[in-house]
């Protein structure tokens, strides 16, 4: 569907961040709460659900497969689970919009159903690699058609007999791991995945919360098909990936002091904290507690002088969505920051290495892309016009860059911020950003990067 209008952000220089605020719910956990809640026996009550376009796409897809879901109403959702074998064939293709997590996880889950299904997405999602899920699932006996270039639409042929496999994942991807584990619920015997590096483990934790056994030995984790899930209550913490923009913003804007409430600090997600601390950031973790199997805390962030670093490669999967914000921190740091081992950034909602390098160069920063990373020499940030490429995280990264820039920044094509962070502009302004929202015509895009 062609967009009829879009929005731009104009950020005036000179703001700083202060106060206490809570960013919206975790996107990864929100998706999984709908998926597992739908497959459970009994009702699942969710609070803190992210009412962003991506998680709503998942919610609508399960409604289209006959699941009764009430809400969302101020973050509250009630899912009346239909059991592992209770989904019904949807009437048409399931449109997952911009959401890679919905598409890849659902490919696994739908591979085990008795009916055929088709998954489609927007222009960006239709460019993203899907063979990474269809290959592994194919080895389990799933039949999934992609386009010749390995992209969506995905045609999933149901009524296949899936068998458990021991799968060594070629990429460190929580989406691939989760797709295999979800298919594993329907497979004969044990399905095991080995990850090349630790990735977010929300699927494993939530399966256990629903009473489904998951065994884990180091990088190897397994489920056995044929069990059951039992409905539960889920308290979704605030998304550290959304908090990241405020963590970086408060760090780079002199005089800032901000507290981010109830943030999920699962150790598979806290690369942003580790990386920024290595650069010299002042981040204090307060009131840490475990809620529903996930660690949660308040984060206090005060402005600090940063220095450039070589980002440890082991941190890359643990901060994979936070690099647009981290690159802004690097642009404000003294000296050189070097990122390597992050080729995955090229196949996110946009090519995030290129999009960030282009945008930082517009602001006068030396930012040189490499095949799997970037080299950024920090220093002076000017103003200018930035293309977000319709990528929510690129848009928000350049919005917070406005806190450290000497001139106004205008970020174009920001409509998709609503996929992960509805209300970003209002919340950021309430904390001290000087952002105005402008209406604009959508950019004409002929091809992806
Ligand atoms: C996600 C996994 C990551 C991340 C994405 C959410 C998830 O993707 O970038 O935003 O919820 O499993 P990859 O698995 O492609 O690394």
pLDDT of 311 reads 98
Residue 109 forms part of a structural domain: yes
Percent above pLDDT 70 for the chain:
98
231 lies in a domain?
yes
Atom of ligand 1 nearest to the CA of 27: 11
The yes-or-no verdict on residue 447 having pLDDT over 80 is: no
Return the CATH number at 186. 3.65.10.10
Q: Which of 132-136, 278-282, 352-356, 444-448 has the lowest mean pLDDT?
A: 444-448
Query: Among 296, 295, 297, 306, which Cα is nearest to 256's?
Result: 306
Q: What is the DSSP letter of 126?
A: G
Respond yes or no on whether the N-terminal peptide bond of residue 179 is cis (omega within 30° of 0). Answer: no
User: Other C-beta atoms within 10 Å of 310: how many?
Assistant: 12
Is the residue at 1 inside a domain? no
In a domain, 124, yes or no: yes
Q: How far apart are CA 128 and CA 135, in angstroms?
A: 15
Range 87-91 average pLDDT: 98
* pLDDT above 90 for 187: yes
On whether both 200 and 345 belong to a single domain, the answer is: no
Band the pLDDT of 2: cuts 50, 70, 90: very low
Residue 5's pLDDT band (cuts 50, 70, 90): confident
Tell me: do 48 and 144 sit in the same domain: yes
Main-chain dihedrals φ then ψ at residue 205, nearest 5 degrees: -65, -40
Q: What is the pTM of this model?
A: 0.97
Domain boundary (208, 235, 262) is at: 235
Q: What is the CA radius of gyration of the chain?
A: 21
Residue 38 has pLDDT above 50, yes or no: yes
Query: In the predicted model, what is the mean pLDDT of residues 148-174?
Result: 98
Q: How large is the average pLDDT for residues 385-411?
A: 98
- Which of 321, 351, 387, 391 is the catalytic position? 321
- Boundary residue ending a domain (197, 217, 235): 235
Q: Is residue 311 part of a domain?
A: yes
Ligand 1, atom 15, lies closest to the CA of: 173
Nearest ligand 1 atom to alpha carbon 177: 14
Residue 208 buriedness (CB in 10 A; 0-12 / 13-18 / 19+) = middle
Q: pLDDT-based confidence at 449, cuts 50/70/90? A: very low
The pLDDT tens digits for 19-29 are: 999 999 999 99
Q: Which of 186, 215, 235 is the last residue of a domain?
A: 235
Average model confidence (pLDDT) across the chain: 96
The tens digit of pLDDT for each residue in 44-83 reads 999 999 999 999 999 999 999 999 999 999 999 999 999 9
**For residue 105, is pLDDT > 50?**
yes
Place of tokens 């196949």: 347
Domain range for 325: 6-25+237-440
Beta bridge partners of 216: 221
pLDDT band at residue 4 under the 50/70/90 scheme: low
Shared domain check, 216 and 146: yes
Instruction: List b or e across 216-235, with b for residues whose CB sees 16 or more CB atoms inside 10 angstroms.
Output: eeeeebbbbbeeebebbebb
Residue ranges lining ligand 1, Cβ < 6 Å: 28, 101, 173-175, 178, 200, 320-321, 344
**265 CA to centre of ligand 1 in angstroms:** 16
- Domain assignment present for 12: yes
Residues 224 and 283 in one domain: no
329 and 423 share a domain? Answer: yes
Q: Does 413 participate in catalysis according to the annotation?
A: no
447 in a domain, yes or no? no
Whether residue 45 lies inside any domain: the answer is yes
**Do residue 357 and residue 248 come from a single domain?**
yes
Residue 174 alpha carbon to ligand 1 centre in Å: 6
What residues contact 171, with CB distance under 8 A and at least 6 apart? Answer: 132, 196, 344
Please tell me the predicted confidence (pLDDT) of residue 441. Answer: 84
Residues 227 and 303 reside in one and the same domain? no
Three-class secondary structure assignment of 275-317: HHHHHCCEEEEEEEEEECCEEEEEEEEECCCCECCECCHHHCH
| β 76-82/117-120 pair status | unpaired
Residue 47 sits in the same domain as residue 163: yes
Answer yes or no: do 317 and 373 share one domain: yes
Which numbered atom of ligand 1 lies nearest the CA of 31? 11
Same domain flag for 249 and 299: yes
Q: How many domains does the chain have?
A: 2
pLDDT tens column, 303-357: 999 999 999 999 999 999 999 999 999 999 999 999 999 999 999 999 999 999 9
306 and 433 part of one domain = yes
Q: Are residues 228 and 313 in the same domain?
A: no
């Amino acid at each position: 569907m062609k967009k009829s209008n879009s929005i731009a952000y104009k950020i005036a220089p000179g703001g700083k961040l202060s106060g206490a605020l809570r960013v919206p719910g975790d996107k990864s956990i929100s998706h999984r709460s709908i998926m597992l809640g739908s497959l459970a026996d009994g009702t699942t009550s969710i609070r803190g659900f992210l009412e962003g376009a991506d998680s709503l796409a998942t919610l609508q897809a399960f409604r289209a497969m006959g699941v009764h879901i009430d809400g969302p109403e101020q973050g509250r959702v009630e899912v009346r689970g239909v059991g592992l074998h209770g989904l019904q064939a949807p009437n048409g293709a399931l449109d997952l919009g911009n959401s890679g997590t919905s598409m890849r996880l659902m490919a696994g889950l739908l591979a085990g159903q008795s009916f055929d299904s088709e998954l489609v997405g927007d222009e960006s999602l239709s460019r993203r690699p899907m063979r990474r899920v269809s290959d592994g699932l194919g080895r389990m006996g799933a039949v999934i058609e992609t386009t010749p270039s390995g992209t969506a639409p995905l045609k999933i042929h149901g009524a296949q007999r899936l068998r458990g496999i021991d799968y060594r994942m070629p990429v460190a991807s929580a989406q691939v791991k989760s797709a295999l584990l979800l298919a594993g619920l329907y497979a004969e015997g044990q399905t095991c995945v080995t990850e090349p590096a630790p990735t977010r483990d929300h699927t494993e934790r939530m399966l256990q919360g629903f009473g489904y056994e998951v065994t884990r030995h180091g990088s190897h984790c397994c489920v056995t098909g044929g069990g059951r899930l039992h409905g539960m209550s889920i308290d979704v913490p605030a998304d550290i990936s959304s908090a990241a923009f405020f963590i970086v913003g408060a760090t780079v804007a002199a005089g800032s002091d901000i507290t981010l409430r109830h943030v999920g600090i699962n150790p598979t997600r806290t690369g942003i904290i580790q990386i920024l601390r290595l650069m010299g950031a002042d981040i204090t973790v307060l009131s840490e507690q475990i809620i529903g199997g996930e660690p949660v805390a308040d984060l206090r962030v005060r402005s600090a002088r940063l220095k450039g670093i070589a980002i440890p490669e082991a941190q890359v999967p643990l901060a994979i969505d936070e690099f647009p914000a981290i690159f802004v921190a690097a642009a404000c740091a003294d000296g050189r920051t070097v990122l390597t081992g992050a080729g995955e950034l090229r196949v996110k909602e946009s090519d995030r290495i290129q999009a960030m390098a282009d945008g930082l160069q517009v602001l006068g920063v030396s930012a040189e892309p490499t095949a799997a990373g970037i080299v950024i020499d920090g220093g002076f940030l000017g103003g200018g016009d930035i293309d977000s490429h319709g990528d929510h995280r690129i848009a928000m990264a350049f919005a917070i860059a406005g806190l450290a820039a000497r001139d106004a920044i205008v970020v174009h094509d920001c409509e998709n911020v609503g996929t992960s962070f509805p209300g970003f502009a209002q919340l950021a302004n309430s904390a001290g950003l000087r952002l105005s929202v402008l209406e604009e015509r959508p950019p004409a895009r002929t091809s992806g990067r």
